[in-house]
Amino acid sequence: MCVCVCVCVFVALCVARAALQFYRRTDDVSNDMEEMDTECQQQQQQQQQDSAAAGDTDKSMADKPFTLAQLLRSAGLRRPLFVACMLQVIQQFSGINAVRLYVSSHSTL
């Protein structure tokens, strides 16, 4: 199992390096790869510290499903929910969904 994980990580790093070389138009991307690895490690450490500081209460909350009532009561999520719903309503009333459907069906012909 450990060998499989190591191989997958190695392949992912090779693919990431190739993509970075393609987009940067240079072969030397080792500094960028090291910087991304450092940032990833810092984020993981921060998440571990946050979860340790929160204690077991967050672990029990993560196991429970998030209900619609909790979503509506959460002040931090109320505005993004409203924006997402309004975007859907505006798309419906503007007719852009019908245009996208019509264009995609005729572009494949």
Q: What is the pLDDT of residue 82?
A: 93
- Could you say which residues of the chain have pLDDT below 70? 1-3, 5, 54-63, 104-109
Q: Give CA–CA dist 96/84, Å, rounded.
A: 16
Q: Give CA–CA dist 82/74, Å, rounded.
A: 12
pTM of the model: 0.43
Expressed in percent and rounded to 5, the helix, strand and coil fractions of the chain are 85, 0, 15
Q: What is the pLDDT of residue 36?
A: 87
Q: What is the pLDDT of residue 84?
A: 93
Q: What is the pLDDT of residue 52?
A: 78
Q: What is the pLDDT of residue 7?
A: 73
Q: Give CA–CA dist 17/71, Å, rounded.
A: 40
Residue 17 makes CB contacts below 8 A (sequence gap 6+) with: 29, 33
Q: What is the pLDDT of residue 62?
A: 58
